[in-house]
Amino acid sequence: MSKNTFGIARWVLAGVAIAVAVIFLLQQRQGDIDVSYGESPSSDYEEGESGELSDHTVPSTDEMVRQVQAEPVVRLPGASAKWNRQWLREHVDTAGVRLLFAPPGLDEQETERVLAVVEDDSIADAPFDLVTVTGTKVRGGPYTAAADDIDGFQRQFAAGDVTGLLAAVITGMRDAGDPPTAPGLTWREPTSAELGTVTADLERDRLHVADGATLSDVPGNAANAFPDTEPMIVALPQQDTGRPVPDYAPALAERFPDTPVVVLYGNYVDYAGPYRDQFYEVATAGVYGMLGDRISRYDYPQDNVLFAWLNKVTDIRYAGLFDRPLPYQPFDPLKVTLPALPFVFAACVLGVIVLSVTALRRRPSHGRPPTVRLAALSALSVEVSGLTTEASNPSLTRAITHLDAARERDGSAVGRRAAHNLLDKAEHELAETARLIERSDYEPRHYTAGWGV
Amino acid sequence: MIWLIGGLVLIGAGVVSAYLPRLRAHAARKRAAWATAKAAIAAAGVSRDACAADVPEARRLLAEAEALSGGPDAARTATELAERADRLWQEACDE
């Protein structure tokens, strides 16, 4: 029974060892090893590949210097930034400040030409301070202004309004303390006619692109940012500062409940819908904080801005906000156990070896031919036969029966083992005989010791 | 045709070469097991003859052992039965 169990355990262990070794070897990949010095897989970015350059250009530096010296405010063709001249005069000391407005989306040489105007000797020595505005990027002396709250982002990117930024740069240059806060955009309810046009488009293909907007299509990452419901997207052109802006997002969210509604005003992204409180300000501040510099200087299409904003929303979603369990990635048990397989294999081999050794460990004499034991025990039985009494006779007779049977076994492995088993029984009976005749010197253990058994 | 015959011969040779040693080993095991059983039955007979008392249970067991025939498993069963009968007779004698 136990011998059988040992045998089965040995085979099971050997099978497991082979299976483990095969699995381990099959998982060793060797094809994708690249033996060379690494080359960066990134592709060089060519300026203008994302459509951020505009068709506008600027005149030569000398020409711009001449214009700035001639007039206090120079607007180069294509310049789009707007500012509230009246408010600025009322709140900031603008005496001796000259403004140069350049169009957005200039390439590298054109940008350098604009920067060279400030450093031109005749401007540096002039009795006025020059503030340049490229797109909506405001620079003056060593100062650069950037919006840092939602109101500021709305003014700069939804309306192209740089009044607040101008105020910040000018007060900075004059060391005049904290700049005043410029008035924000004013909002109004959209009229039912406006809402009707947008709603009809959204119901048809969840996208509305107004005249003048530059969005071409829904970016591919929209499904990552809003996996539950496909978002509805409204793209509007840059707004006018002077007039109240129709506030589409809340109205559309009311019209389409539980649907993410994204409204683009120029390069500003507004949102209404599920989880707004949890991510909107973080995402918007993140996008314009990191990319505001480029978005303001260049003429990016709305596709790029929306793509960046949706990416940020996706990041926040995977950071664990949104009250929703993170998408769980079940681990691959094979990958996890792979490092342990060599040890499992070694343990199986060890087990097989131990069990094999246990199976081999029998009485050492049993491996040899039984002739010596047979001769010794036969001689003992002859010697004892003269001493036996009626009580001890049966055991001697039984011993002789076993000895006779052992003698007739052949020399094969099976026969040898059977002979040894019979001799064990004979030895047992002879020990009984020795005990009965009270002669411990005829104990087979002692008697056969001299025979080298 | 030659392939068929060759294949059959090959398979036949394989079967025979695998089966013959098995048969031989089985026969050897059977012989050895029956020799052990015969010795045990003979030893039980000795105990029976040496014992004055009659033990019906032992007699039944020995008769059963003597009646058995078959392969090595049957021989082992016979050996066990004979040894039990032997022990019963020896215990009956010792009392």
pLDDT single digits (tens) A202-241? 999 899 999 999 999 999 889 888 888 899 999 999 998 8
- Res B68 pLDDT > 50: yes
By the CB < 8 Å criterion, does A394 face chain B? yes
Which residue range is the domain that position A15 belongs to?
Answer: 1-26+338-361
Q: A419 and A377 in one domain?
A: yes
Highest averaged pLDDT of the listed ranges A112-116, A274-278, A417-421, A442-446: A112-116
ipTM of the complex: 0.82
Q: A356 and A256 in one domain?
A: no
In a domain, A37, yes or no: no
Q: A354 and A387 in one domain?
A: no
Residue-wise burial string across A78-110, b where 16 or more C-beta atoms lie within 10 A, e elsewhere: bbbbbbbeebbeebbebeebbbbbbbbbbeeeb
DSSP strand pairing (A129-134 vs A97-102):
parallel
Residue-wise burial string across A343-379, b where 16 or more C-beta atoms lie within 10 A, e elsewhere: ebbeebeebbeebeeeeeeeeeeeeeebeebbebbbe
Residue A337: its H or E element? helix A333-337
Residue pairs between chains A and B whose CB atoms are closer than 8 Å:
52
By the CB < 8 Å criterion, does B16 face chain A? no
Which of A173, A206, A225 is the last residue in one of the domains?
A: A173
* Chain A partners within 8 Å of B25 (Cβ): 414
SS3 letters across chain B = CHHHHHHHHHHHHHHHHHHHHHHHHHHHHHHHHHHHHHHHHHHHHHHHHHCCCCCHHHHHHHHHHHHCCCCHHHHHHHHHHHHHHHHHHHHHHHC
Express as a percent the part of chain A with pLDDT over 90: 39
Mention every residue, 6+ apart, whose C-beta is less than 8 A from residue A141: A129, A169, A172, A173
- Res A99 pLDDT > 90: yes
Contacts of A434-441 with C-beta under 8 Å, sequence gap 24+, read A434/A384, A436/A388, A436/A389, A436/A391, A436/A392, A436/A395, A437/A384, A437/A387, A437/A388, A437/A389, A437/A392, A439/A384, A439/A387
Q: A134 and A152 in one domain?
A: yes
B30-42 tens-digit pLDDT: 988 999 999 999 9
Q: A353 and A306 in one domain?
A: no
* Average pLDDT of chain A to the nearest whole number: 86
- Res A1 pLDDT > 50: no
CB contact under 8 A, B36 and A412: no
Residue-wise burial string across B5-32, b where 16 or more C-beta atoms lie within 10 A, e elsewhere: eeeeeeeeeeeeeeeeeeeeeeebbbbb
By the CB < 8 Å criterion, does A1 face chain B? no
B11-61 tens-digit pLDDT: 999 999 999 989 988 888 898 899 999 999 999 998 888 888 888 888 899
Q: A371 and A274 in one domain?
A: no
User: d(Cα A138, Cα A67) in Å, to the nearest integer?
Assistant: 19
User: What total number of domains does chain A contain?
Assistant: 4
Q: A191 and A314 in one domain?
A: yes
* Chain B partners within 8 Å of A421 (Cβ): 36
Q: A293 and A194 in one domain?
A: yes
Q: A15 and A108 in one domain?
A: no
Give me the pLDDT at residue A43, please.
Answer: 73
Task: Give the distance from residue A335's alpha carbon to the nearest chain B alpha carbon, in angstroms.
Answer: 43
Q: For residue A14, give Cα distances in angstroms to A19, A286, A344, A356, A364.
A: 9, 59, 11, 11, 27
Which of A120, A138, A173 is the last residue in one of the domains?
A: A173
